[in-house]
Amino acid sequence: MTSTKRSFRGNVLGLLAGQITRLALQAGYFIILARMLGATGYGAFATAIALCALVTPFSSLGTNTIMLRNVSRDVSSASREWARALTYTLLGGAALSGVLVLMADIIAPPELSRFAILQIALAELIGLKLVELTGAVWQGQDRSRPLIVLPTLLNFIRLVAAGAMFLWVGQTTLEVWATVYVLATLPLGIGVAIHTSAKLGPGGRALRLRVVEVKEGLLFSVAMSSQNVYNDIDKAMLARLDSVGAAGVYSAAFRIIDMAYAPIRSISAAAYPLYFREGEGGLASALRLTRRIAPAVLIVGGLAAIGSFFLAPVAPMLLGNDYDSAIVVIQVLAPLVILRGLTFLGADTLTGCGRQGFRTGAQVTVAIFNVGINLVLIPPMGISGAILSTLLCEFILASGLWSYIWVVSNENRRQKPQELAAQEVSGR
């Protein structure tokens, strides 16, 4: 067993242990929040989170992914890459928070106030991003502990805040919770960023970006934003085109499916730096890594989907009677766990071997299609339209990515004998 395999398996086990702990915390936090806000309040909160997710990738201009890639390949670049990613995250997060507030009347339902949007945006676009950025810079140096501990700590703080508030006041409004939410998130992000900056030291010219890096950063940002569009836009559109209550039920069901996906997310997080290293050898090299981890992804995904289907009736017992209709939503969305696993394998294979352009193009195309089909399906079908759109778009994206990989792999195999023959002729 190579040191790389041992490191990968160790990272997966560590991240999985962190995910299990985080899942327990998230489950408690989610149950309390759903009961405290009710379906309507939770729907408005989920809408605000979804709006933040759409713009979050642009807050750092892709420098977070560039940082992880560069640090994974050259550890000595950590302080410089960190300083640059940190600068863009802070500036971009503040700017985009303001943009969301200014556009509130256009993009948000009436139940969501400007002040609530501002506070939730600051928590998500700055507080949460700083926590993720800190984990990423250490992950690039094969030190995955911060990537495990910090999100777990953040979820613990949010759980304590939600639990204390529920015990104190019972049900409350979104505006009050938004204030508690930002106070539970932003200080931790700022604190870990200051600590990491002190550990890594000065980074030199933090704002300097080469033209090629700007292009790469935009590709990463657009790809992630597109992914967030087809993951989250349905929640915002459901609240706008149907009702905030329907968005609350759908968002609660989607959250349960997302928690079921957590083990695969652990594998994805551990494999991501390896894809950049293996991918330097081209698509064939990246595919070898994919073949090693694909069985685990498919087995875990299948078990999670089956578990979600059969345990769905438990949801209203935990969340309250407002969420009775979530049972069917969870059961129909259960296959999404497997589809998302297939998408991650194909997408990261392409990113690792330098074919980010196709991945971005595919994700943008599916995101645009997702918005269009939601406009058609949600008004007459409500939640059913959002479910159909989500499953269809994930299937199209996974199929498109793997079809492209199959075509390119076949072309490479055909070209190889021709290149060898040409080398033999030239050698003579």
For residue 407, name the pLDDT band (cuts at 50, 70, 90): very high
Question: Per-residue pLDDT averaged across 412-424, rounded?
Answer: 58
pLDDT for the residue numbered 421 = 46
Q: If you average pLDDT over every residue of the chain, what do you get?
A: 83
**What's the Rg (C-alpha) of the chain?**
22
Nearest residue to 128 via CA among 95, 166, 162, 157? 157
Contact (CB, 8 A) for 314 and 327 = no
d(CA 349, CA 215): 20
pLDDT for the residue numbered 423 = 47
pLDDT for the residue numbered 173 = 86
pLDDT for the residue numbered 208 = 64
Sign of CA dihedral 333, 371, 345, 82: negative
Q: What is the DSSP letter of 137?
A: H
d(CA 303, CA 264): 11
Q: What is the DSSP string of 155-193?
A: HHHHHHHHHHHHHHHSS--HHHHHHHHHHHHHHHHHHHH
Contact (CB, 8 A) for 4 and 275 = no
Higher confidence at residue 417 or residue 264?
264
Q: How many helices and strands, by DSSP H and E, does the chain display?
A: 17, 0
d(CA 397, CA 391): 10
Quote the percentage of the chain above a pLDDT of 90: 31
pLDDT for the residue numbered 424 = 47
pLDDT for the residue numbered 6 = 56
For residue 82, name the pLDDT band (cuts at 50, 70, 90): confident
Structure confidence by residue, pLDDT tens digits, 171-187 = 888 889 999 999 999 99
Structure confidence by residue, pLDDT tens digits, 58-69 = 887 777 778 877
Contact (CB, 8 A) for 117 and 48 = yes
Distance of CA 88 to the CA centre of its chain: 19
Structure confidence by residue, pLDDT tens digits, 106-148 = 877 877 889 999 999 999 999 999 998 888 888 777 676 776 7
